C-alpha cells in the first residue's frame, strides 16, 4: 500500500514516521509513504496557498488551484489512490473504516488548515473524515491517526497478527483488561482465572469482560455489536444489576 499526504507542514510527520510500529514498518517497506508540501504547487513569487473568504468573515481559506495541482500530480504517481479530506465536517472515522481502507491500493490524505478548503475542492475528493467532534489546528493530526489505524492492519506491520483482531472496536466491543507480572501488587491481585492455565475459561472470561467494559464505558457500541443470545442475556443481567445498585 502507498500513503500520500498533502500538507503545509511536512515536518509534522518526521518524528512519528520514524518511531514505533510505523517506523519499523517503513524500514521494512511494508508500505510506502510520501509527504508532499502543498506550497510546491502554489504560484510564485509568494507561493500563497490561502486567501480571504468571499463575503467577509474571519480567518483564511485554502485556495483551490494549488490543491488541484497537487492532487493531479499525486494521482499521476498513484492512479488508484483514494483521496480523503481531513475536516471537522467529515463523517466520524471508525474501526470499520480503517478495515475497509486497508484494502485500498493507495490513500491520499488532504490536510486542511485555517478555516478549511475552498468548497470546490470537495468535488475532487472521494471521502471526508473527522476523528471526533472537536476542532484541531489542522488535518495533519487526523491524517496521522488514520495512517496508523490503517497501517497496523497491513500484514506484517504488527508483531502479533492476532493483536489487531483483539483490539478495542475490532469486533464492535472494547478490549478486555490486561494484566502482567507480578500476580499481586499494591494489594490488587490478578484474577485467578488468568493464572489457571485453562484457556477455555480464560477466553470466556475475556469475552465477558469485553461485554462488561463496553456496557460500562461505551453502551452505544452494543447496539451494533454482533452478540449471541447468551451474550445478550449476560448484558441484560449486568444492566439489571446496575439498575438495582442505583436504586438501593
Q: Which of 38, 61, 70, 40 is nearest to 120 (CA)?
A: 61
Count other C-beta atoms under 10 Å from residue 83's C-beta: 20
Residue among 10, 53, 88, 177 flagged as catalytic: 88
CA distance 77 to 51: 29
Cell of 181: 507480572
Which one of 24, 39, 94, 152 is the catalytic residue?
152
167 is catalytic: yes
- Catalytic choice (115, 118, 175, 209): 115
User: Is 155 considered catalytic here?
Assistant: no
Cα distance between residue 109 and residue 105, in whole Å: 14
Contact yes or no for 118/61 (Cβ under 8 A)? yes
Active site residue 53: no
Could you tell me if 142 and 7 are in contact, meaning their C-beta atoms sit under 8 angstroms apart?
no
* Residue 75 annotated in active site: no
What is the Cα–Cα distance from 85 to 6, expressed in whole angstroms? 10
Residues forming the active site: 88, 115, 152, 167
Amino acid at each position: 500500500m502507498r500513503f500520500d499526504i498533502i500538507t503545509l507542514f511536512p515536518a509534522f510527520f518526521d518524528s512519528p514516521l520514524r518511531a514505533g510500529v510505523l517506523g519499523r514498518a517503513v524500514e521494512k517497506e511494508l508500505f510506502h509513504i510520501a509527504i508532499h508540501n502543498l506550497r510546491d504547487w502554489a504560484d510564485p513569487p509568494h507561493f500563497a496557498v490561502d486567501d480571504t473568504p468571499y463575503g467577509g468573515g474571519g480567518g483564511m481559506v485554502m485556495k483551490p488551484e494549488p490543491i488541484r495541482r497537487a492532487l493531479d500530480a499525486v494521482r499521476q504517481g498513484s492512479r488508484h489512490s483514494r483521496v480523503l479530506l481531513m475536516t471537522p465536517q467529515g463523517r466520524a472515522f471508525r474501526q470499520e473504516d480503517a478495515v475497509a481502507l486497508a484494502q485500498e491500493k493507495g490513500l491520499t490524505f488532504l490536510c486542511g488548515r485555517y478555516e478549511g478548503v475552498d468548497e470546490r475542492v470537495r468535488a475532487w475528493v472521494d471521502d471526508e473524515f473527522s476523528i471526533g467532534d472537536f476542532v484541531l489546528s489542522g488535518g495533519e493530526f487526523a491524517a496521522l491517526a488514520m495512517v496508523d489505524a490503517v497501517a497496523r492492519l497491513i500484514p506484517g506491520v504488527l508483531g502479533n497478527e492476532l493483536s489487531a483482531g483483539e483490539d478495542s472496536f475490532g469486533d464492535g466491543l472494547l478490549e478486555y483488561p490486561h494484566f502482567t507480572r507480578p500476580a499481586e501488587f499494591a494489594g490488587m491481585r490478578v484474577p485467578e482465572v488468568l493464572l489457571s492455565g485453562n484457556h477455555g475459561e480464560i477466553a470466556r472470561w475475556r469475552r465477558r469482560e469485553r461485554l462488561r467494559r463496553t456496557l460500562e464505558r461505551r453502551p452505544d457500541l452494543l447496539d451494533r455489536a454482533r452478540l449471541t443470545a447468551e451474550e445478550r442475556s449476560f448484558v441484560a443481567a449486568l444492566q439489571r444489576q446496575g439498575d438495582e445498585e442505583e436504586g438501593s
